[in-house]
Amino acid sequence: RLIFELGRCQGKPHQQSPDNLQVEIPPPSLEEVTQIVHQRADSNAVVSNPMWLANFHVNSRLASRYQVGNVFLAGDAVHIHSPVGGQGMNTGLQDAFNLAWKIAWVHQGKLSMKTLSTYHEERYATAMSLLKGTEFATHVAAMKKGWQISLRNALARIILSFPLVQNKMIRVLSQINIRYQPNLMVNESGKFQCGPKAGSRMSNLMFGIEGSCVQLYDLLIKIDSFLVLFFIDGDSDLKQLEPLINDLEKLPIPIKTLIVTKTPVSQKDSYLFADHAQFGAEKGACYVIRPDTYIGYRQTPIDPAALLNYFKQVR
């Protein structure tokens, strides 16, 4: 497979003609490819029997809506962009994951129809940010002037040598740093000093229980519901929570509750996690984890009325 930059294809990734029509560029000929090979490799090289000769140009587009009525778009049907960074497939998968559980639960009567509007609200902003990032990265990678290339390479070596930047790049490229802005299914109350914010992906916590360990994501795989984590100190706080837990169980929404404590408590579904401070839960806190592993709601201190209101809004 041979890939060449052709001078007649230069321009912005999504460049269009003045009349807003895509510029038609004829495919390269075998003679043209042979000439480039002779210039850049060996003048005696022979290029023959091509199976496919074609131009490749980058499109960067985003549909204005992810949803219109009963029609939903996802993946390449709604966004297309430069392949730099390998972000396309993961973005499409997250589109599908974000939409699938909501549609399923609406169909089953577990969620209100109005919750489907959050699909566009959450995913459109994510795709817009992705397009801006891939366009910028493509322009940087395609620099042609010698001084620009030298400066780019020198800066990249320096900047990427810092562990903080490396970790940030990993989170960006793996798309685990995405955070949805407040909407019907994303909210929080109280003053948190730290911890993952509502709309962000919940960390894969490691809980200790009866001398063994269990990961949060392993629990999410086994349940088909919202997961409500109550961060409390011990049995005294648990007794105060019992009426709230009973009220949650009565709601027509699948909800699983887990108690996260610093010390053992009597309830069988208690999972110990000592570092409450990491989640801003020193005074008690509640995190609602959606089936797609994103935090739908968090609060500190625990407010039964506000928590019940969150679920009543989506129902």
Residues 265, 283: one domain?
A: yes
pLDDT above 60: residue 86 = yes
Residues 106, 47: one domain?
A: no
* Type of residue found at 74: A
CATH number for the domain including 298?
3.40.30.120
Please, what is the average pLDDT of the chain? 87
Residues 28, 107: one domain?
A: no
CATH number for the domain including 131?
3.50.50.60
pLDDT above 90: residue 39 = no
pLDDT above 50: residue 14 = no
Residues 84, 133: one domain?
A: yes
- DSSP state letters, 123-145: HHHHHHHHHHHHHHHHHHHT--S
* pTM of the predicted protein model: 0.82
- Torsion angle, alpha carbons of 153, 159, 160, 163, to 10: 170
pLDDT above 50: residue 195 = yes
On whether residue 158 sits in a domain, the answer given is: no
Average the pLDDT over each of 19-28, 133-142, 208-217 and give the range with the smallest value.
19-28
**End position of a domain, from candidates 142, 162, 177:** 142
On whether residue 174 sits in a domain, the answer given is: no
Two tokens at 210?
A: 């009866």
Confidence of residue 26 (pLDDT cuts 50, 70, 90): confident
Residues 243-292 have pLDDT tens digits of 999 999 999 999 999 888 877 777 666 677 767 888 898 889 999 999 99
Residues 305, 193: one domain?
A: yes
Residues 45, 96: one domain?
A: no
| Domain that includes residue 17, residue range | 1-57
Predicted confidence at residue 4, as pLDDT, reads 62
Report the pLDDT averaged over residues 86-115: 95
Residues 299, 201: one domain?
A: yes
Cβ neighbours around 280 below 10 Å, total: 20
Predicted confidence at residue 13, as pLDDT, reads 43
Residues 31, 122: one domain?
A: no
- Counting the structural domains of the chain, the total is 3
Residues 219, 295: one domain?
A: yes
On whether residue 156 sits in a domain, the answer given is: no
On whether residue 137 sits in a domain, the answer given is: yes
pLDDT above 80: residue 182 = yes
Residues 48, 70: one domain?
A: no
Share of the chain above pLDDT 70, in %: 90
Predicted confidence at residue 7, as pLDDT, reads 61
**End position of a domain, from candidates 142, 172, 202:** 142
